[in-house]
Amino acid sequence: MNNKALENLLILLGNRDEAEKKSLANLSPEEWEALIEEAMKQEVLPLLYHYLKELDISIPKELEEKVKQAFLKTALRNSILYEETQRILRVFNRKGIPLLLLKGIYLAMVYENIGLRPMGDIDILIQEKHIREAHNILLSLGWKNTHNCKLLGAQGVRALHYNLPGKGIFLDLQWELLGWHLPFKGAEEIWTRAKEIKLGDVKALVLSPDDLLIHLCLHTAIHTSLGISLRMLCDINELIKRQGKEMNWEAISARAKKWGVIRPVYLILRITSQLFATDISPMWLSSIEPSDFDKCYIELAIEQLGAQDRHLKMPHSFLSRVRHSRGWRKRISLFRRVLFPPREIISAIYGIPLSSPRIYIFYIVRWISRGLWLLRDYCRILLNLTRRDKKAKEVLHHSNISAQLYNWLMGD
């Protein structure tokens, strides 16, 4: 790893010796500034604030105020999301409709401080039989649906997205845990293992610690197509640190194999263990190592994590995935998925009724728009490469890294 700021950040956030952490108090103002910038880029600035306070490490005043404000801003927004989730849960509980909270809202509770983990939106899992009723309840609570509600339950549509006007809050209502990204086979059984918690004075369901760990690994793996952030790995590290004793590691490995997701579970947990010194048994990790695993995947993932600009635009990542796919069958399958998505998806994108013959015209519209989009971006990148633009080379390099990782993790 050639990113010193990231190395220092990992020391502070990981399960390292306290003396090693406190030795960072001697960093220069310039080094602290680089560390803070890295924490912002990796979306862990509030968590860094917590550990600096816990270790009683002083940093330059202007930087301390910046970190503190990030914590306070996160706490304020999370409080708004927390209250809105409580309002939704009260209504659904009265109606006898179970909701399962995913990711953000519960992870903020796992961290044991609502200001430590930024939340983008509210993610809720619901059983498919309750979709229409849930949709109507959300509308009655003032939420606006950003998709055509006629597509409820249609093939290819696995979630609905809502916003709350005037508050800048978004909600995802899902009835499949991971959508189209992975052939996830455990959707029904996770409900039988769901754990009941209290969100203030309101009852809520969340994934069991074992299922949550697998879900976080898969969610992180999916994001390798764009670039994972340290925040995702922090979620896994904090979950194991705080709930590891409740986990049944043999059940986790058996479930990962049963669901066909052993690659992402193994790689993400191994990277987390390596970077944070997370308490995961090396013997257990070795027992689930895929037969086709190559150490280069760890190096690629860490390089992606430590990229100088983690938000580089990689418009041609799809073509990189095609190039790095193994065999023509995989390549043809990728093209088929992009060129011929289910009719319901075309209907949702273009607002065309499913029964209309015009829907087939919009397949052609999609091909032309996608083709022009790829042509435009490729021309821009090629032009920048001819000018020896370093950022264009970096975009190309990290797009290739993402494609290699994603293809292996998703089973190509």
Average pLDDT, the chain: 83
- Please say whether the beta carbons of 177 and 217 come within 8 A: no
pLDDT in tens, 151-169: 555 545 678 889 999 888 9
Instruction: Enumerate residues 6+ apart whose C-beta is below 8 A from 46.
Output: 70, 71, 74, 75, 115, 116, 117, 118
> What integer pLDDT is reported at residue 181 of this predicted model?
47
Per-domain residue ranges for the chain? 4-73, 74-305, 317-409
Share of the chain above pLDDT 70, in %: 78
Q: What is the mean pLDDT of residues 330-353?
A: 71
| Statement: residue 372 has pLDDT above 80 | no
| Separation CA 137–CA 162 (nearest Å) | 12
Residue 407: per-residue pLDDT: 75
pTM score, whole prediction:
0.82
Contact 197, 204 (CB under 8 A): yes
Q: What is the pLDDT of residue 314?
A: 47
* Residues 217-231 pLDDT 10s: 998 888 776 667 899
pLDDT tens digit sequence for 261-281: 899 999 999 999 999 999 999
pLDDT value of residue 324: 52
**What average pLDDT does range 136-154 have in this prediction?**
75
DSSP-based three-state secondary structure for 204:
strand
Signed CA dihedral, 74, 80, 85, 90: sign only: positive
Distance CA 150, CA 137 (A): 16
Which pLDDT value is given to residue 256?
92
- Per residue in 99-109, pLDDT (tens digit) is 999 988 888 88
- Give, in words, the CATH class of 74-305: alpha beta
